[in-house]
A and B are shown apart, each in its own frame.
Chain A
Amino acid sequence: MPLLRDLPIRRKLSLAMLGTTLVVLVAACGALLAYQYAASRKELARHLTAIADVLALNSTAALSFARPDDAKETLQAISAKPSIEVAGIHDETGALFATYSRDEGNTPFPATPEPDGVRFAPNHLVVVRPVTLDDKRLGTLYLRADLTEITARLRANAQIAGFVLLGSLALALVLSTVLQRAITRPISALTDTAKAIADTRDYAARAQKHGTDEIGTLTDTFNEMLAGIQERDSALSAENVARRHAEDEIRILNASLERRVEERTAELQTANKELEGFSYSVSHDLRAPLRAVDGFSRMVFDKYSVQLGEEGRRLLGMVRSETARMGRLIDDLLSFSRLGRQKMEVASMDMRALAQGVFNELAASEPERKVRFDLRPLPAASGTVAMIRQVWVNLLSNAVKFTKERETGEIEVGTQDGGKEGPIYYVKDNGAGFDMRYVDKLFGVFQRLHSAGEFPGTGVGLALVQRIVQRHGGRVWAEAEINRGATFFFTLSHPRA
């Protein structure tokens, strides 16, 4: 049995209307029937009372003259009214005087008179009237009638009421079916529209308004909501389209950027390779004639020494020493260019041992120099040994070279904490230092901050150091004061990198 609240509105309305009609009709009919019944009883009572009075009147003679047969005759007239069951007269002594009985002797008759009045018993009406003549009570008249008349009428009325009820219900059914449409059609229309929109997501659709009642208002509100949703929906999809456009553009831009980066990288690599190749061949091709200059000038020096004389020998000596310098220049340039072509092999390096070894060699090559070497503990690093060795060679030989004016050269090598960069290695000397104003030029190729007369050198050493350190993912820098010495710092890539 479906719950009342789950029935469709159509059915609810019909049921409501029918139910109301039914209840109302039943109530009305019931009331009518009840009134009729009551009225009938009252009428019957009155009627019978009247009959009783008439009978009583007619019986006075019989009672006065003690002629019961006359009384009986009179009572016989009652047979005209079939509903009266029994009738009887008691004389003034209370004895039974005369009786009438509809069904011969079947119904009991009270032996003694009952009090006057009209009484309803469950199935009977009892009327007891005095028989009087000139205010003298002669006897009592007793009437008892059954209620079949009333009940029959009641039944008939009920039947009629029943038919009326049914007819009215039928009419109510028809009417309700027709009338409920006025309410349910707009609701169903709204419901169907809502469902359709929910299924198709077509927010441009609108529900049709039927009338301006609450459903009309609901329809309006519903349509307003749809309008709102439609707006937001189109705004959203417009945003989506715009965003997708932007994403596409970004993707295209990225792709073109990547392409350009690739192109640039390729260009750079080619340029680098060309440069390195160029450096290599230049330094190589420069060597051959240099050897000739060196050799022939030497031969002149050896074979024509006497003819040259002192000045000649000095001049030729200049030629030879410049030739030697050029050779060193070419060597440095060559190793600088070769650096780019070298493969890096990463291995663990004992930095302290490396530095010590390099210093020992330097010390051995210049035994007359007094240099104090303070080598602090150095953490191990990873990198290409040959290259890092070159770094130590260049930095330490620089330190040795630039401290040659000091009585005792002091070189300190150690490490500082560089935080995220890793350990910072440093080489500190008490030598000539340099002017910090030109610190930017320090690591340029062939850049020198001192004249060749002060300190020999080609100006490639530090450029080489920078190149090597950078290839190891680190950086190199320096601090100095003129005549107070210099400190060179460098880092290598973090071991974990």
Chain B
Amino acid sequence: MNNQVEILLVEDNPADAELTISALKDRKLANNLVHVWDGQAALDFLFGNGTHAGRDVKHQPKVVLLDLKLPKVDGISVLRQLRANEHTKELPVVVLTSSREDSDVIETYHLGVNSYIVKPVNFENFSQTVSNLGMYWLLLNEPPIVP
């Protein structure tokens, strides 16, 4: 299924979103990328609710790139709900945020995040990090098998 979503990008900042997508595109990793703008949209998509009602929730993305500072439902709440749900408990989630706060790191790992990446300030580093992320989770990592 070529149309299967591979990356769900949850990012409210248009500039950051464009840079991320651009970096992934450079590596040809953005072909099956879905971008949502807030936490509620992310949950709707993953659970097949609201505007994404009817989506086949058996087919989950290979990785969710999750920003923490989101409108409506913030990143940590999204993570908590994902981990509480049978279908999304093992879904690979990578927090991609500008926050370096200890509390955020602690809380997200406590909730079971797979990885925590601080967005580099420098664009070059940012590019490199994103493409590394994409390579790792899309090409290297073996996704979980949902029964």
Contacts and interface: CB of A to CB of B under 8 A. Distances in A.
Interface residues of A, number: 16
B15 A289 contact: yes
A296 B20 CA distance: 11
A330 B98 CA distance: 13
Interface in A123-169: none
A290 B19 CA distance: 12
Contact of A327 (B13, B98, B119, B121): B121
B16 A292 contact: yes
Main secondary structure of the interface of A (DSSP, over half): helix
A294 B123 contact: yes
Most A-side CB within 10 Å, residue of B16, B22, B123 = B123
Interface in B1-19: 13, 15-16, 18-19
Interface in A298-339: 298-299, 324, 327, 330-331
A294 B122 contact: yes
Contacts of A294: 121-123
B22 A299 contact: yes
Nearest to B20: A295
A327 B126 CA distance: 13
25 contacts: A284-B98, A284-B99, A284-B100, A287-B98, A287-B119, A288-B13, A288-B15, A288-B98, A289-B15, A290-B121, A291-B15, A291-B119, A291-B120, A291-B123, A292-B13, A292-B15, A292-B16, A294-B121, A294-B122, A294-B123, A295-B22, A295-B126, A296-B18, A324-B122, A327-B121
Interface of B: 13, 15-16, 18-19, 22, 98-100, 119-124, 126-127
B15 A296 contact: yes
Contacts of B126: 291, 295
B121 A291 contact: yes
A288 B13 CA distance: 9
Contacts of A289: 15
Given A284-B98, A287-B98, A288-B13, A295 B121 contact: no
Contact of B19 (A284, A287, A291, A324): A291
